[in-house]
Amino acid sequence: MARRPVPPFETEIHALADRGVGVGTTPDGREVRVRGTVPGMRVAAEVFKRSGRTLHARRTATIRPAPDAVPPRCAVFGLCGGCTLQELPLAAQRGHKHALAVDAVGGAPTVHAPRGGPHAYGYRNKVELSFGVRRYLSEEDHARGLPVEGRWLGFHAPGRFDRVVDTTRCELVSERMNAVIAAVRAHVLQPHQPPPLDVKCHEGFWRHLALREGMATGELLAVVHTTSQGPPEAVAALAEVLLATPVPGGRLVGVSWRLHDGVSDIAGGEVEATWGRATLREELAGRHFELAPQAFFQTSTEGAEVLYGTVGEALGRGGTLVDLYCGVGAIGLVLADGFDRVIGWEVVPEAVENARANAAANDVDASFEAVKVEEAIGTLGAIPGPRRIVVDPPRAGLHPIAAKALATAEAEVLVYVACHPASLGRDRPLLEAGGWRLTDLWTVDLFPQTGHVEAVARFVREPAP
């Protein structure tokens, strides 16, 4: 049966949903997610999609901004689709994300105040941009007749694999990274250069630019991704320019070239050459990290410090720290001083190698294994006690086998770090069925201006009061 269309409507935005999308109400009382809105504003909107029972709408006009509205800082706000919360002050963003996460987890006896790093902008230590031959324009710029075809560098517009939002600077990264982005644009987007890849016909050369920064050290790495449809000398010339580019308060220490001829538009491929260094140094909570461009590391160094501090508070101290889904070992290494030893499990072998090297560089007694948590979990009981466990699984949460084994695992405390709080909400009853009780819940905002928020939950085996 065909469903009734929803005519364009006006609504108050009263809450924030997952991924930083505002929630409103249709005139006939149905909940609707309105893209590009924040709580407190009144907007005109039109529905463009239904998924199951959820209506998705886009804002067509702002009738009234939120009472505490602030001007967005980014020149391509609303087009790039990346930082949807810029119209709210940082404290309000954190309040709404906190409420959303606490609700997704199902509350807790003690809910702590929202936390996060000190900066609303300029905090990201990593960014990835795409080169393109077609750009995505606002309706006004289309009407002004600005050209779509050309040579561009920026972020993919939401749902548009073939167009990039041309971006001269990103407000989420530092002035150092923006200096490198400006240098790449000035060099690569010139008519005498080989063209960017046209993803529709798979012709062209420049594909992606990935940048990573050690926020504490000021060191930067660039990775340039291309096809094989251009001369290697073009990348060598770019590397020479970038290594000589003045970077305020920092230094670009290396440029790597990755070649990828595949049809999929991922920033992958083999490393063909490196000019300068292949890794950079970062510092977090007094520990040193040597990072390869592809190694997992929390994307906000200052936010990660707050997150790891919160995990330490939740864990307490003493015995063995078991760090599951440990990445490059950051949680265990940062908190190691409170424990006799650290054990980490992680599926990506390169991350485990990094973790071992990081432990050695920081003189920490730690052992890291390249295993799948759900396959190794049966051996948890063999780790000498007393032990404290932290799990930091990917967005999807715990594997059911891991959740079942952790539910009955012996430990002083179990701390669950969730980058997708709804996954913690789903896993919580599985853990509680084994006798764990959630006592404390924190939220940490690692990514201001976006809908992401981390939840940290502390489970103990004390009987309920």
State phi, psi for 314 to the nearest 5 degrees. -70, -35
Cβ count near 174 (within 10 Å): 25
Q: Judged by CB, which is closer to ligand SAM: 103, or 375?
A: 375
> Would you count residue 20 as binding ligand SAM (CB under 6 A)?
no
User: Which one of 347, 359, 405, 411 is in contact with ligand SAM (CB under 6 A)?
Assistant: 347
Site for ligand SAM in 398-417 (CB under 6 A): 399
10 contacts 35 by C-beta, under 8 angstroms: no
Neighbouring C-alpha atoms within 13 Å toward the C-beta of 302: 18
User: Which one of 83, 120, 321, 331 is in contact with ligand SAM (CB under 6 A)?
Assistant: 331
Site for ligand SAM in 194-253 (CB under 6 A): none
Cα distances (Å, whole numbers) of residue 244 to 168, 183, 185, 275, 400: 20, 10, 15, 12, 51
Candidate ranges 5-13, 17-25, 30-38, 345-353; the one touching ligand SAM (CB under 6 A): 345-353
Which residues in 206-232 are b (16+ Cβ under 10 Å) and which e?
A: bbbbbbbbbbbbbbbbbbbbbbeebee
453 contacts 424 by C-beta, under 8 angstroms: no
Spell out, one character per residue from 349 to 368, where the chain touches ligand SAM: x when CB under 6 A holds, - when not: --x-----------------
Candidate ranges 57-65, 121-129, 203-211, 388-396; the one touching ligand SAM (CB under 6 A): 388-396
Q: Is 17 exposed, middle or buried (0-12, 13-18, 19+ CB in 10 A)?
A: middle
- Compute the distance between CA of residue 375 and CA of residue 6 in angstroms, rounded to an integer: 49
User: Which one of 221, 330, 409, 438 is in contact with ligand SAM (CB under 6 A)?
Assistant: 330
Count of residues for the chain? 465
146 contacts 165 by C-beta, under 8 angstroms: no
User: Which one of 291, 373, 398, 431 is in contact with ligand SAM (CB under 6 A)?
Assistant: 373
372 contacts 397 by C-beta, under 8 angstroms: no
Q: Which residue has the tokens 């050695």?
A: 360
DSSP characters for 26-79?
Answer: -TTS-EEEEET--TT-EEEEEEEEEETTEEEEEEEEEEE--TT------TTTTT
Catalytic residue among 74, 80, 326, 419: 419
Q: Judged by CB, which is closer to ligand SAM: 219, or 282?
A: 282
CA neighbor of 338 nearest in space, from 422, 252, 257, 412: 412
Least separation in angstroms between CB 76 and ligand SAM = 28
135 contacts 146 by C-beta, under 8 angstroms: no
Least separation in angstroms between CB 419 and ligand SAM = 5
Least separation in angstroms between CB 293 and ligand SAM = 15
419 is catalytic: yes
Angle made by CA atoms 79, 84, 85, in degrees to the nearest 5: 145
CA neighbor of 110 nearest in space, from 460, 417, 431, 395: 460
- Compute the distance between CA of residue 273 and CA of residue 235 in angstroms, rounded to an integer: 9
Spell out, one character per residue from 417 to 456, where the chain touches ligand SAM: x when CB under 6 A holds, - when not: --x-------------------------------------
User: Which one of 348, 357, 401, 430 is in contact with ligand SAM (CB under 6 A)?
Assistant: 348
Candidate ranges 150-158, 191-199, 392-400, 446-454; the one touching ligand SAM (CB under 6 A): 392-400
> Would you count residue 326 as binding ligand SAM (CB under 6 A)?
yes
User: Which one of 171, 346, 427, 440 is in contact with ligand SAM (CB under 6 A)?
Assistant: 346
Q: Judged by CB, which is closer to ligand SAM: 263, or 382?
A: 382
> Would you count residue 295 as binding ligand SAM (CB under 6 A)?
no
User: Which one of 81, 132, 303, 327 is in contact with ligand SAM (CB under 6 A)?
Assistant: 327
Q: By beta-carbon distance, which residue lies closest to ligand SAM?
A: 327
For ligand SAM (CB under 6 A), the number of binding residues is: 21
> Residues interacting with ligand SAM, by CB under 6 A?
296, 298, 325-328, 330-331, 345-348, 351, 372-374, 392-394, 399, 419
- Catalytic annotation, residues: 419
